[in-house]
Amino acid sequence: MKLKPNRSLTDASKLIESMLKENTGIHFMDSGGGSGRAWQRNEKRDFAKEPQVKLDVREWTDSDGKDRIDSGFSVSTYHYLCSMLALDATCKKFNKMKCENWDSELAYGLSTKGEELLNDVGAEIGKAINTYNWDCPLDQVLQFSPLTINADEYVLLQVHGGADVRGGYTDAKLFTFKHYSNPQGFGAVDVYGTINGKNVSNMYAGGNSLTLEDGNGGTGEEVEFIGKGKDSASLWIMES
């Protein structure tokens, strides 16, 4: 990614938090009930104080009476976006515009006025991507279109704030990438850390699967969980 020396980048965390808490509506066809939509659950969350990655270990007993352990992890969408994204003057100008209608056919969540601004700055917009369509460990769904402006890379981003993934998205906001982020890897999340004192990551198996690591990388062996509240984990987002 080439960055112009005079292009000033600023922190995007406040805008990211506002998108995660944006009221995307309550539609009777949405399955969120009274308060089950993501934006409603997020209202009282302090994202900055939450861990980057949460490990969930669930113990249960099968029909034969045998004890079982299921495990999984989720990555904080807030921490992930903050680690990747920033704002520049073009982003700020675009994001100040009110988006009253999604009447542009150029990208999702975009108005024709927003489209005009992007055309004026020579933006080239790529195909839209939705993280729901693969094994993505983020705790919320993202929908985004990559774009370039004067050879610099940006992303037109929506956060899914509803319950049903088919609707409940925020208006699209424009972000650029931090100096050492990898725009081509946006949406893919690498996680590493330790569980019960052993090095783990999802780099070998990908997505939501953690495997043990040795000095040469992934071994492909599954992580062994102790259960009964004795598992100890420290997991982090790997910077791209």
Q: Do residues 198 and 223 lie in contact, with contact meaning Cβ atoms separated by under 8 Å?
A: yes
The mean of the pLDDT values for the chain is: 89
Nearest Cα neighbor of 80 from 9, 159, 133, 151 is: 159
* Winning range, highest mean pLDDT, from 19-23, 112-116, 213-217: 112-116
Q: Do residues 138 and 77 lie in contact, with contact meaning Cβ atoms separated by under 8 Å?
A: yes
Mean pLDDT of all residues in 196-218:
84
Mean pLDDT of all residues in 40-58:
93
> Would the pLDDT of 154 be above 80?
yes
Note the pLDDT tens digit of each residue in 73-87.
999 999 999 999 999
Nearest Cα neighbor of 58 from 67, 46, 71 is: 71
* pLDDT confidence band for 167 (50 / 70 / 90): confident
pTM: 0.90
User: Residue 180: what pLDDT?
Assistant: 86
* pLDDT confidence band for 192 (50 / 70 / 90): very high
**Which residues are 191's β-sheet partners?**
237
Q: Do residues 46 and 39 lie in contact, with contact meaning Cβ atoms separated by under 8 Å?
A: no
> How far is it between the farthest Cα atoms of the chain?
66
Half-sphere exposure of 182 (CA within 13 A, CB side): 9
Mean pLDDT of all residues in 7-28:
88
